[in-house]
A = this chain, B = another copy of it.
C-alpha cells in the first residue's frame, strides 16, 4: 500500500483530474484489453510534458514504480500494473492538447495521448493520414512504444519508419525532458536517440509528443479474395502480384479457412464469395490502391486487378484456384471480422509472430501437421500479413476443455509454438506487440547475453528509475 502522503503530493502536482486513487476510478486502467487484471497504487494523468516530467521525477526520487499506459489496447500486459498494488499507472490519456499540422512537410506534431482515429479524423479534411492501419484504436504514445505495423505495412511500413521526432521524459530524478522533436526527413548528426523509444514499451522513457510523417489518403482502391492452389503457391502469388502491380499493391493479407469460417459464422451479414459454405484452406486478401487525383486516361483499379489476375492465371494455372474481385468495404469487413469471430469459437490462445516471407506457409504447414498429435483438439485460426511476414497465429480451444483448468497446458503450447518459430525458423515471437509481462520470459530466454548487457547499461544511463512493466 502506498503512503497517503505520496497520493497527496502527486495530486498537488497534477490537480484533481490528474490523480485517481479511488478503486472505481482506477478499474479501467488496471484491466488489460484482453488479458490480465492488476492493481494500481494510483493513476496519474498528466496533461502536459511538464506534468509528466514532474510526476516521473517525484516517483523516481521516491522509488515508486510507474507503468506508462497509452490506449491500453495491447495484448502482452505491457501497460497495466501487476497484482502487487505497488505500481502507479502513468496514463497518457490527457496528453491530447498538441496538434500542429505542416501540410508542405506532410508532418504533424501531436500529443502522445491522441487516439489514432482522432488523429486521422482531424487529418481527413487535408487529404492526409497517419498510414498505420490497425484493428485496435490505440493512442500515439503506445503506438511508438510498441512500433505497431498493421495491414498496410507492405506499402507504408511501421511506426518507426513514420516517426520523425519525439519528445520524451526520461525516468531519472530530474524527469529530464529530451527534445528529439525534429521534423526533418534527413538528419544524421549523431546517434538517432528517438529509435531507443520505439518498440521498447516505455521502459526507457515516456513519449509525450510525436512528429509523424503523413501520407496522402488513398482515393481509389480495389480488392480481391484469392484462393491459392497450395501452400507453395502463396509466396509465388505474392511475387507475381508485386511484379505485376508495383506500387499499387497496398495489402496482401492471409486468412486461414478456419478464421474465415469463424467470421462468417459470427457475422451473418458477411458474404462468402466462394459460395455456399465452401471456404478454401487459405485465403488471400489483395488490395490495390492509389492516392492520385483521378486522371482521364486512367484504367479503373478493379479493371487493373482483373487484368493482372487473369494474366497470372493464364501464365501459371498452378497458382490460383479461385479469385473474386469485390468491393473493398465488403472484403475488409470480412478481414476485420476475423478477430471477433475467432474469439467466439472458444478460448483464444494468441501469438503475434513474424517470419521471412518465404517461411510463413512452411511454418503454418508444420503446425497443421503436428498439432493434432501434440495438442489434439486445438484449432488453428491464424490470419495475418503475408506481405510483410507477420502472422497472428491464433489457437482456439473449447471453453470447457478440462486441460484449461490449470496453466500447464497453455504454457506447454506456448513453449512449443514459440520454440519452433524462433529456433527452427529464426522468426520473431513479437512481431508488432513489443514486450510486456506476458512475453518477458521469452525475451529473457532468446535475447543474447551481450544484448541484455547493453540494454541494461543503456537503461541505467537513460532511465535508471523503475519505469515500465518489463525488464530490459
Binding site for B on A (CB under 8 A): 102-107, 127, 146-147, 149, 153, 157-158, 160-161, 176, 178-179, 182-193, 195-196, 198-200, 204, 216, 235, 238-239, 242-248, 290-293, 295-299, 303-304, 307-308, 354-358, 385, 388-390, 426-435, 439, 442-443, 446-448, 450-451, 453-455, 457-458, 461-462, 472
Do the beta carbons of B299 and A304 come within 8 Å of each other? Answer: no
**Complex alpha-carbon distance, A335 and B140, angstroms:** 40
A104, B235: Cβ atoms closer than 8 Å: yes
Cβ contacts A to B, 13 pairs, < 8 Å: A105-B357, A185-B354, A186-B389, A187-B354, A187-B428, A187-B430, A189-B434, A190-B435, A191-B472, A193-B455, A454-B462, A458-B458, A458-B461
In contact, B356 and A186 (Cβ under 8 angstroms): no
In the complex formed, the residue of B with least CB distance to A433 is B188
Taking a contact as CB atoms closer than 8 A, the residue among B184, B247, B461 that contacts A355 in the complex is: B184
Q: Is A307's CB under 8 angstroms from B297's CB? A: yes
Chain B nearest Cβ from A451, distance in angstroms: 6
The listed residue (B242, B297, B385, B388) touching A303 by CB distance below 8 A is B297
Q: How far is the CA of A410 from the CA of B459 in the complex (A)?
A: 42
A56 to chain B minimum Cβ distance, whole angstroms, is 15
Q: Chain B contacts of A293 at CB under 8 A? A: 243-244
| Bound complex: CA A426 to CA B354 (Å) | 38
B290, B296, B390, B426: the one contacting A186 at CB < 8 Å is B390
A432 near B186 with CB under 8 A, answer yes
Residues of B within 8 A of A388 (CB): 185-186
B247 near A247 with CB under 8 A, answer yes
Check if B295 sits within 8 Å of A454, measured CB to CB.
Answer: no
Q: Check A304–B297 contact: CB distance below 8 A.
A: yes
Residues of chain B lying within 8 A (CB to CB) of residue A472:
190-191
Q: Does A127 contact B247, Cβ atoms closer than 8 Å?
A: no
Q: A308 touches which one: B149, B295, B307, B457 (CB < 8 A)? A: B295
The chain B residue sitting closest to A196, CB to CB, is B191
Distance in angstroms from A213 CB to nearest chain B CB is: 10
Complex Cα distance, B458 from A106, in Å, reads 33
Interface centre among A106, A238, A450 (most CB of B within 10 A): A450
**CB contact between A430 and one of B147, B188, B455 (< 8 Å): that residue:** B188
Whether B295 contacts A389 by the Cβ 8 Å rule is no
> When the two chains form the complex, which single residue of B290, B296, B303 contacts A246, counting CB atoms closer than 8 Å?
B290
Chain B: minimal CB distance from A22 (Å): 35
Known: A239-B104, A356-B105, A389-B185. A246 touches B461 (CB 8 A): no
- Which of B147, B193, B427 has a CB less than 8 Å from the CB of A454? B193
Closest B residue by C-beta to A459: B191
Tell me which residues across on chain B come within 8 A of A354, comparing CB atoms: 184-187
Q: A296 to B103, alpha carbons, bound, how many Å?
A: 36
